C-alpha cells in the first residue's frame, strides 16, 4: 500500500451482508466520517451511513472502526490507522442493521423511555423556581453524567446488552441517574422501580466497556452503581 | 417480577453474602483444624454430637446458602438461558427448599447421630 492512499473494508447490506473494499486518497486531518462521505460522493452513492453535526454534538455518526465503537466525525484516520493497515468499518453492535453503516436506533430510545430517562414535572407546577446550589451533592452527581450525546457507543460496547435483550443498557441508565439527582423531579418512585426491575441496573456486571469507549468520557458504570445504591436504599426503606 | 421484589431479592442476596463470607471462612478453618490429627467419622462425630453451637452455626450457614444460591442462579438463568417468568421463580423456590432440606438434614444428622 502506498502511504498516500487509504484502504477500507466497509460493511455492506444488512445482517447477512459482507465487506466491500474501497481505496481513496489519504488526506491531512481526514476523519473516518470524511472518508465515508468521500466514498459516497465519488464512488458509490448507495453507501448508507448517518451523520448530522460533524462536530461531536449530535451523536449520530457512531460506527465500529477496527473493532472499536467510535464517533467517526471526531476520529482522525491517522490516529487510529495502524501503519499500512486497512481500516475496517462496521455498523454498531447490539442494534438491528438498516443498511451498511446505519443501524435502527428505535430500541435504544425505547429503553431510554422505559428507564424513565425524562423529566417528570408532576401534576401541579411548583409555586416558585427551584433553587439548586451548584455545589450540592445531587447537582454535582448529575453534572458528571449529563453530557451524553445519545450516540449508542456504550450500548454497542456492552456485553450484557448482547446477552439480555431486555437490559436497559448504559446510556438509558446513565440518563436515569441524572434525573434521580434532579431535586425538582416528581417521578422518582416510578423511576427507581423502572431501574430496579430485572432488566435494570442490577443486571450490570460493572465490566466498564461503556466507560472505556464513551466519547464524552462519561462513566455510565459509575452512574449505574449510583442507581444500585439508591434502589437498595429505597427497598430498605420500603419506598419501592 | 415486580421491581420491588427484585430489589428485595438483591438485598437478600447481598445480606446473605455477608453471612456466607464469615460462615465459609469459619467452615474452612474448622475443616483444617478438624483434620489435624487424621480424619475419621468417629472422631468428627465425637466432636459434633450434641454440640448446640455446631448445630446453630451450620443452620445459619444452610439458611443463608439456600437464600443466596437460588437468587444468583436465577440471574444466571435469565441472562444465559433466557429463562424468565413464573416457571423460573417456581424452580428457584423449589431449589431453595431442596437446599434447605438437604442442608438442615445433614446438620441435624451430625448433631444427633
Ligand atoms: S459496566 Fe454495565 S452497562 Fe457498562 S458495559 Fe459493563 S455491563 Fe454494560
Ligand atoms: S453515555 Fe457516552 S457512549 Fe453512551 S450514548 Fe452517551 S455519549 Fe454515547
Ligand atoms: S456527526 Fe454529530 S457527533 Fe458525529
User: CA-CA distance, B107 to B113, in Å (whole number)?
Assistant: 10
Does A97 lie in the same domain as A42? yes
Does A110 lie in the same domain as A99? no
By the 8 A CB rule, do A68 and A158 touch?
no
User: In this structure, what CATH number is given to the domain that contains residue B77?
Assistant: 1.20.1300
Percent of chain A with pLDDT over 70: 99
Q: Which residues of B touch A232 (CB under 8 A)?
A: 7, 10-11, 14
Paired sense of beta strands A18-25 and A5-12, if any? antiparallel
Q: Find the A4 Cα to ligand 2 centroid distance in Å.
A: 33
The three three-digit cell numbers of residue A142, written as one number: 448529575
Cα distances from B2 to residues A80, A193, A204, in angstroms, run: 46, 9, 18
If phi > 0 it is left, if psi is from -120 to 50 it is alpha, else beta; for residue A169 that is left
Residue A202 makes CB contacts below 8 A (sequence gap 6+) with A196, A228, A231, B6, B7, B10
Does A219 lie in the same domain as A129? yes
Query: Measured from the CB, is residue A58 less than 6 Å from ligand 3?
Result: yes
Does A111 lie in the same domain as A225? yes
Helix (H, G, I), strand (E, B) or coil at B2: coil
Average pLDDT over residues B25-53: 81
Structure confidence at residue B31 (pLDDT): 82
Query: Measured from the CB, is residue A57 less than 6 Å from ligand 3?
Result: yes
Average pLDDT over residues A202-222: 97
Ligand number nearest CA of A199 is 1
For ligand 1, atom 8: residue with the closest CA: A158
CA A155-A156-A160 angle, to 5 degrees, is 65
Does A131 lie in the same domain as A87? no
Residues B23, B24, B30, B33, CA torsion sign: negative
Q: What is the mean pLDDT of chain A?
A: 95
Number of domains present in the structure of chain B: 1
Which string of DSSP letters, residue by residue, matches B45-110? HHHHTT-HHHHHHHHHHHHHHHHHHHHHHHHHHHHHH---SHHHHHHHHHHHHHHHHHHHHHHHHH
CB contact under 8 A, B4 and A160: no
Residue B38 in this model has a pLDDT that exceeds 90: no
Confidence band for A210, pLDDT divided at 50, 70 and 90: very high
Number of domains present in the structure of chain A: 2
Structure confidence at residue B54 (pLDDT): 87
User: CA-CA distance, A225 to A174, in Å (whole number)?
Assistant: 10
By the 8 A CB rule, do A202 and A231 touch?
yes
Give me the domain span that covers residue B60: 3-111
Does A115 lie in the same domain as A59? no
Does A114 lie in the same domain as A42? no
Structure confidence at residue A43 (pLDDT): 98
Find the residue in A nearest to B77 (Cα): A164
Does A156 lie in the same domain as A178? yes
**CB-based burial, B43-76: b 16+ in 10 Å, e otherwise:** eeeeebeeeeebbebbbbbbbbbbbbbbbeebbe
Q: Find the A99 Cα to ligand 3 centroid distance in Å.
A: 19
Chain B CB within 8 Å of residue A190 CB: no
CB contact under 8 A, B79 and A202: no
Beta-bridged to residue A29, according to DSSP, are none
Does A118 lie in the same domain as A91? no
From B1, B10, B78, residue closest to A232, measured CB to CB: B10
Average pLDDT over residues B63-80: 95
Does A87 lie in the same domain as A18? yes
Residue A3 in this model has a pLDDT that exceeds 70: no
CB contact under 8 A, A235 and B75: no
For the stretch A142-172, pLDDT in tens is 999 999 999 999 999 999 999 999 999 999 9
Q: Which residues of B touch A196 (CB under 8 A)?
A: 3-4, 6-7
Q: What is the pTM of this model?
A: 0.90
**Residue A74 DSSP class:** G
CB contact under 8 A, A196 and B6: yes
Find the residue in A nearest to B80 (Cα): A163
Does A127 lie in the same domain as A50? no
Determine the distance from the C-alpha atom of residue A130 to the mean position of all C-alpha atoms in its chain, rounded to a whole number: 30
User: In this structure, what CATH number is given to the domain that contains residue A26?
Assistant: 3.10.20.30
Q: State the burial class of residue A21 (Cβ atoms within 10 Å of its Cβ: 0-12, 13-18, 19+).
A: exposed
Predicted complex ipTM exceeds 0.85: no
User: CA-CA distance, B113 to B108, in Å (whole number)?
Assistant: 8
Measured between CA atoms, how close is A25 to chain B, in angstroms? 46
Chain B CB within 8 Å of residue A225 CB: no
* Domain end marker among A68, A84, A103: A103
The three three-digit cell numbers of residue A102, written as one number: 446505519
Interface of A with B in 119-158 (CB under 8 A): none
Ligand number nearest CA of A51 is 3
Give me the domain span that covers residue A131: 106-236
Does A23 lie in the same domain as A72? yes
By the 8 A CB rule, do A50 and A61 touch?
yes
Amino acid at each position: 500500500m502506498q502511504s498516500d492512499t487509504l484502504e477500507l473494508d466497509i460493511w455492506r447490506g444488512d445482517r447477512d451482508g459482507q465487506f466491500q473494499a474501497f481505496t481513496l486518497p489519504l488526506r491531512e486531518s481526514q476523519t473516518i466520517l470524511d472518508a465515508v462521505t468521500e466514498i459516497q460522493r465519488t464512488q458509490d452513492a448507495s453507501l448508507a451511513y448517518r451523520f448530522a453535526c460533524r462536530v461531536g454534538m449530535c451523536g449520530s455518526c457512531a460506527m465500529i472502526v477496527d473493532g472499536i465503537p467510535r464517533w467517526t466525525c471526531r476520529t482522525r484516520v491517522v490516529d487510529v490507522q495502524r501503519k499500512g493497515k486497512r481500516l475496517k468499518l462496521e455498523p454498531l453492535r447490539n442494534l438491528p442493521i438498516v443498511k451498511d453503516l446505519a443501524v435502527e436506533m428505535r430500541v435504544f430510545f425505547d429503553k431510554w423511555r422505559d428507564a424513565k430517562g425524562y423529566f417528570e414535572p408532576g401534576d401541579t407546577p411548583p409555586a416558585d423556581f427551584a433553587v439548586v446550589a451548584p455545589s450540592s451533592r445531587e447537582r454535582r452527581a448529575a453534572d458528571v453524567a449529563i453530557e451524553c450525546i445519545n450516540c449508542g457507543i456504550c450500548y454497542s460496547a456492552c456485553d450484557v446488552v448482547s446477552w439480555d435483550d431486555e437490559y436497559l443498557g448504559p446510556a438509558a441508565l446513565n440518563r436515569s441517574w441524572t434525573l434521580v439527582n434532579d431535586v425538582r423531579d416528581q417521578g422518582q418512585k416510578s423511576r427507581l422501580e423502572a431501574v430496579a426491575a430485572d432488566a435494570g441496573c442490577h443486571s450490570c456486571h460493572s465490566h466498564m466497556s461503556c466507560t472505556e469507549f464513551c466519547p464524552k468520557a462519561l462513566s455510565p458504570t459509575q452512574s449505574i452503581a449510583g442507581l444500585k445504591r439508591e434502589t437498595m436504599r429505597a427497598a430498605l426503606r420500603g419506598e419501592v | 417480577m415486580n421491581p420491588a421484589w427484585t430489589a428485595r431479592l438483591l438485598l437478600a442476596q447481598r445480606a446473605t453474602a455477608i453471612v456466607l463470607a464469615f460462615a465459609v471462612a469459619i467452615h474452612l478453618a474448622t475443616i483444617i483444624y478438624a483434620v489435624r490429627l487424621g480424619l475419621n467419622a468417629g472422631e468428627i462425630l465425637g466432636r459434633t454430637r450434641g454440640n448446640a453451637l455446631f448445630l446453630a452455626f451450620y443452620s445459619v450457614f444452610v439458611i443463608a446458602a439456600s437464600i443466596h444460591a437460588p437468587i444468583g442462579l436465577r440471574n444466571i438463568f435469565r441472562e444465559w438461558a433466557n429463562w424468565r417468568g413464573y416457571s423460573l421463580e417456581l424452580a428457584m423456590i423449589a431449589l431453595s427448599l431442596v437446599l434447605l432440606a438437604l442442608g438442615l438434614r445433614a446438620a441435624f444428622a451430625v448433631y444427633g447421630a
